[in-house]
Amino acid sequence: MKKTWLAVGAAAIIALSGCSSSGHDEKSDGQSHEMNHEGMNHSSSGEVPKNLQASQNPTFKIGSQAIMKADHMKGMDGAKATIVGAYDTTAYTVSYTPTTGGEKVENHKWVIQEEIKGAGKKELKPGKEVTLEADHMKGMKGAEATVDSAEKTTVYMVDYNPTTGGKKVRNHKWVTESELSKP
C-alpha cells in the first residue's frame, strides 16, 4: 500500500511539473505578463483622471520614500520609490487583448475605477466585461477587458530607479498600498 501511494505521489508530481512548463499556471502567466510590458509607458506625464480624488490621509505621504514589493515589471521589486501622488480608489487586475493586436495580457496590475469607461462609483465584480480608458500600455486604451480582481485601496504614483539599471521611471501608475513598505 505504501508503494502504491508513493507511485501515485510521484505521478502527481510529474504531472504537475508538466503543467507548470505549459505556461498556464499562475507563475508562468506572471512571467509572460512581465514580458508583455515592453509596450508599457513606464513614465507618464503625471496626469490623472479628473474625477480621481487625492487621499486625505495616505500611509505614504507625497515626497516620502518607500520600498516597492511589486513585480509588475523587471526592476520594480525592491526599488526605492518616491511618492508622487496618493489616491483612494478601487484598483483592478484586468485581462485584455490589446487594440493593436498581439497576445492577450492576463491579470494586468493595475487599472483604477476612474480608468474604466462608465464604471461610476460602484465596485466592479470579477468577470465583469469593461472598456479600458487607461493608456499604461500600447493598445490598452479602448480595449475590451475582463475584471479579474478588485481591491479598495490607496494607489500611489511613484518615481523610482529600476533595480536592473536603466532610466529613472517617473510618475509610474499604479502601485497599491500593500505593495509598499517603509524603507
pLDDT in tens, the chain (183 residues): 444 333 333 333 333 333 222 222 232 233 333 333 444 445 667 789 989 999 999 999 999 999 999 988 889 999 999 999 999 999 999 999 999 999 999 999 999 999 999 999 999 999 999 999 998 888 999 999 999 999 999 999 999 999 999 999 999 999 999 999 999
Instruction: For residues 155 and 91, give the distance between their C-alpha atoms in angstroms, rounded to a whole number.
Output: 7
Closest CA to 138 of 66, 39, 64: 39
Per-position DSSP letters for 29-89, written without gaps between them: HHHHHHHGGGGB-SS------TTPPBPSS-SS-TT-EEEE---SSTTTTT-EEEEEEEEEE
Closest CA to 121 of 80, 156, 152: 152
Instruction: For residues 168 and 183, give the distance between their C-alpha atoms in angstroms, rounded to a whole number.
Output: 19
3-state DSSP assignment of residue 16: helix
Instruction: For residues 27 and 11, give the distance between their C-alpha atoms in angstroms, rounded to a whole number.
Output: 21
Cβ neighbours for 119, distance < 8 A, ≥ 6 positions apart: 113, 130
pLDDT value for 72: 86
